[in-house]
Amino acid sequence: MIHLKSIALKNATKKFDHFPFNIPVIRDFDELELVSPVTYFVGENGSGKSTLLEGIASGVNLPAVGNEDIERDGTLAHARKLGKQLKFQWTHKTHKGFFLRAEDFFNFSRRLQSMTKELGEIAEGFESEYTGYALGLAKGSVLSQRRALVEKYGENPDANSHGESFLKLFQARFVPGGLYLLDEPEAPLSPQRQLALLAMIKDMVDDGAQFIIASHSPILMAYPGAVIYSFDQHPIKQVEYDDVEHVSLTRAFLNNPQSFLRHL
């Protein structure tokens, strides 16, 4: 399902000359239509794809998976400025979903481990404060919270590989009918686990979810029926999978690696 139909920049924004409004693709941005449940933003680092994705996340007020939410994260101050200048057209506004930058996953993993440990320590501390029924009630409440976290994410996320923990996070947090904004989710994933993520995305799309993904991965971009927008030219342009530079370069390298490596 397509929840978010289009994103446009307010006309008054054209007069702004500071970051992020002076990035070429933002400066020349008018409107972007979302006609597929899965949309990819592609382009070189610095092209503006992540900046626009962050602005969308702030503008639609999606919760962030990370150390802090968007409204308090100091690294997303520019996203809050951009988000206020974006206009959104919806088919059906959803309050489900989340925004995730790959680098924020590691903050989330550390915070989750800390929360699990603290809940266990709190439960142990009740031993010296309460007895009988009161002790059982106090410990039961705290331990049930800890148990819920462990059931969702595992006893110790760091005991798994980063890729395995990343996929467990998606399994725990994906819900039907959500809007998911993912910034370079391939970063901790092997090619095999990227394929597993594609399968998860397909299952969630079948359950009414929508995805906007900034990516460098030719594997993720190959999702059937996805629309790909290139940020390497401005204004932003829709491109076919085979015309994406990351795809053509990867294919050329795999077909003849020595033609690249002989220059080293």
| Structure confidence by residue, pLDDT tens digits, 79-98 | 999 999 999 999 989 989 99
Residue 112 has pLDDT above 90, yes or no: no
pLDDT given at position 147: 56
Greater pLDDT, 175 or 114: 175
pLDDT given at position 115: 47
Bridge-based pairing state of the strands 210-214 and 227-230 = unpaired
Look at the block and give the residue holding tokens 């978010």.
Answer: 4
CA 253 to chain centre: 28
pLDDT given at position 119: 47
Residues 80 and 89: their CA atoms lie apart, in Å, by 18
What the block records as the tokens of 189 is 């994933």
Residue 27 has pLDDT above 50, yes or no: yes
Mean pLDDT of the chain: 82
| Structure confidence by residue, pLDDT tens digits, 128-141 | 555 555 555 555 55
Best CA proximity match to 21, nearest among 52, 59, 60, 54: 52
CB-based burial of residue 257 (10 Å sphere; 0-12 exposed, 13-18 middle, 19+ buried)?
A: exposed
What the block records as the tokens of 187 is 């970063």
Predicted confidence band of residue 159 (pLDDT cuts 50, 70, 90)? very low
Residue 106 has pLDDT above 60, yes or no: no
Residues 168 and 27: their CA atoms lie apart, in Å, by 38
Residues 228 and 60: their CA atoms lie apart, in Å, by 21
Q: Which residues of 202-224 are buried (b: 16+ CB within 10 A; e: fewer)?
A: eebbeebbbbbbbbbbbbbbbbe
| Structure confidence by residue, pLDDT tens digits, 223-262 | 999 999 999 988 899 999 999 999 999 999 899 989 888 8
Q: pTM of this prediction?
A: 0.80
pLDDT given at position 65: 81
The structural domains of the chain, with segments of one domain joined by +, span 4-104+176-261, 107-157
> Among 10-14, 197-201, 234-238, where is mean pLDDT lowest?
10-14
pLDDT given at position 195: 95
Fold of 4-104+176-261: Rossmann fold (3.40.50)
Greater pLDDT, 10 or 207: 207
pLDDT given at position 98: 93
Q: How large is the average pLDDT for residues 62-66?
A: 82
**Residue 165, CA atoms < 13 Å, CB-side half-sphere:** 22
Predicted confidence band of residue 169 (pLDDT cuts 50, 70, 90)? confident
Residues 238 and 258: their CA atoms lie apart, in Å, by 32
